[in-house]
Chains A and B, each alone.
Chain A
């Protein structure tokens, strides 16, 4: 087990370095002068531009910039934000917990609804339940998250007045954004859970379980769902990464003060150090979640670890 864990971590390192390199190159590969772009071509004087270039280390050759960037990241220094002048790492640290809270809550919603709908659809294949669940799945896949979010605000905040339009970070204000994001994500979960369940239900051991006279609920719970759980863990893990990025849109709709909102502001203001920091942190989280999923998978399915 430990060997497997170590192998996974070792495999992850070059991927992470490749991501780091790509994030670094983001600024280097921009057509035109990044500093001029940051000022939107309206810099007051050439000295200001020169100063900024020096401050960002852009007057150095590319390879030196790269090494100092990598060195900085490894020390936990992501540079300073151009708009707020604060260290990027502090900006992210302030916002990250809010995004994590939103992602975890959405994951909860999507797993509950997605699992329920997917399992029911598989158990009652080709029935009205299946049709409805799959219609829900394709509708969720087609739903623009920002419109759905605005609809939720319109009905539950404006019309019914159940929630405040401006969230205050409390548990209650988490409900609308988490349900919005969770419902959309649950459509994908439902679809994949259904197919995982259908595959398991067609296996010989299910037939054996039925043949030896087990009741149908027993077959479903202790044989079918238990075995279908393996691919489902992967799905849920991937969903979590998707939710972290989905937060960029949902946070903008609900004015939720997370990393996504910070990111959209940074993108609009061309705050390069902040953009790079946020992309790096989100991509790293994504890779880490994948690692956790892999390890969890091996833990749940002993057949995986030796390979």
Chain B
């Protein structure tokens, strides 16, 4: 009975301490030594710059109809061509990057907020609190993610905000599970016991004592959940349940483009490629982060 927590006390904090005390710069240097991370970082940087400077980069407003002749294939004036209403696809893709990044950030933030709180409380207090919270989490996990998101968005009604909310609400249990199991091993460490002895409140111990020591798995999971969230949200938009026209959300762009699959396949391939490259970049970054922060998971 005693051996498991004992070994955890000896090995875990040392590993985590080396991560949490290393300055961010040194950490970044370690991360970007990997070629995967360099490539991913470059793509993500371009994406962020495109989102910030969209009005300066995009030659037209994203919803300006008749910016060019409708359904013009990519050419010098419109490098990504124009859609059925003559809107400039390049401008729509550039503005779409804002939506994609916003979707990913909000969804992951909500997932972290709910999941980490539930996992932290359940793992820290244990007993009945733990049982009830984790049973609920298990039931949520019994639903396949996208069905739950579809069900929520189907109940609330189509719309980008509802889709964001639905995806976040469907995915937080993963965080709760991971955080809880990390908290269980940290909870038994001597420095937590010491804080109890010093008379710190539960809230203080949870946020200042436990949370910083379970940050590594949270960061890894968040970086892997980001691309997954972008993918599911784009799928919801593609199904007509997320972003509504004329929003230049990348998934929604494909919905209209389907009708022109014979005449203007670039209308499908450009937004499709944009989603693929973005998700790929975040997946590569997430994989590298996991290798650096949590080497035990490398082959998983």
Chain A interface residues (CB < 8 Å from chain B): 15, 18-19, 22-23, 26-27, 29-31, 37, 138-139, 141-147, 150-151, 153-154, 158, 192, 194-195, 198-199, 241-242, 244-246, 248-249, 252, 263-264, 266-268, 270, 272, 275, 279, 282-283, 286-287, 290
A264 surroundings in chain B (CB, below 8 A): 150, 239-241
Q: Is the CB of B227 within 8 A of A249?
A: no
Contact A143 B146 (CB under 8 A): no
Residues of chain A with a CB closer than 8 A to B235's CB: 144-146, 249
Interface residues of B: mostly helix, strand, loop or mixed?
Answer: helix
Q: How far is the CA of A248 from the CA of B239 in the complex (A)?
A: 9
Chain B residues near A270 (CB-CB < 8 A): 154, 157
14 A-B contacts (beta carbon < 8 Å): A18-B142, A19-B142, A144-B276, A146-B254, A151-B269, A158-B265, A198-B299, A245-B146, A252-B239, A264-B240, A267-B150, A268-B240, A279-B147, A279-B151
Chain B residues whose CB sits within 8 angstroms of the CB of A158 once the complex forms: 261-262, 265
Question: Which residue of chain B has the shortest Cβ distance to A290 in the bound complex?
Answer: B142
Closest 7 CB pairs of A and B: A147-B272, A267-B154, A245-B144, A142-B280, A142-B279, A18-B139, A195-B299
- Given A249-B239, A275-B151, answer yes or no on A150-B272 (Cβ-Cβ < 8 Å): yes
Q: How far is the CB of A68 from chain B (nearest CB, A)?
A: 20
Are B299 and A282 touching (Cβ within 8 A)? Answer: no
Interface size of B by CB at 8 A reads 48
CB of B139 within 8 A of CB of A22, answer yes
By beta carbon, the residue of chain A nearest B135 is: A18
Once the chains bind, are B146 and A142 in contact (CB under 8 Å)? no
Q: Is the CB of A144 within 8 A of B144?
A: no
Contact status B272-A241, CB under 8 Å: no
**Is B37 at the interface (CB under 8 A from chain A)?**
no
Residues of A within 8 A of B158 (CB): 267-268
Chain B residues whose C-beta falls within 8 Å of the C-beta of A241 in the assembled complex: 144
Give the residue of A29, A138, A199 whose beta carbon is less than 8 angstroms from that of B283: A138
Contacts of B217 in A (CB 8 A): none
Residue contact B144 to A147, C-beta cutoff 8 Å: no
Q: In the docked arrangement, what's the CA distance between A272 and B238, Å?
A: 21
Bound Cα distance A117, B85 (Å): 44
Measured in the bound complex, the distance between the Cα atoms of B150 and A242 in whole Å is 14
Name the residue of chain A whose CB is nearest to the CB of B257.
A150
- Binary contact track B121-148/A, C-beta < 8 Å → 1, others 0: 0000000000000011011001111111
Task: Tell me the nearest residue of chain B to A243, going by C-beta.
Answer: B144
Given contacts A15-B139, A270-B154, contact A244 B262 (CB under 8 A): no
Contact B276 A143 (CB under 8 A): yes
How far apart are B282's CB and chain A's nearest CB, in angstroms? Answer: 8
CA–CA, A70 and B99, complex, Å? 41
| Additional A-B contacts beyond A142-B276, A268-B158 (12; CB < 8 A) | A31-B156, A142-B231, A142-B280, A144-B231, A144-B276, A144-B279, A146-B235, A146-B238, A252-B238, A264-B241, A266-B154, A267-B153
Least CB distance, B160 to chain A, in whole angstroms: 15
Tell me whether B30 is interfacial, beta carbon within 8 Å: no
Residues of A within 8 A of B76 (CB): none
- Docked Cα-Cα span, A150 to B276, in Å, equals 14
Contacts of B265 in A (CB 8 A): 154, 158
**Cross-interface CB contact of B155 among A27, A244, A268, cutoff 8 Å:** A27
Instruction: Tell whether, in the assembled complex, residue A248 and residue B283 are in contact, meaning their CB atoms are under 8 Å apart.
Output: no
Q: Kindly provide the distance from the CB of B224 to the nearest chain A CB, expressed in whole angstroms.
A: 9
Partner of B147, one of A27, A31, A283: A283
Decide yes or no whether B287 CB sits under 8 A from chain A: yes
Alpha-carbon separation in the docked complex, A153 to B234 (Å): 19
| A142 in contact with B227 given A15-B142, A267-B153 (CB within 8 Å) | yes
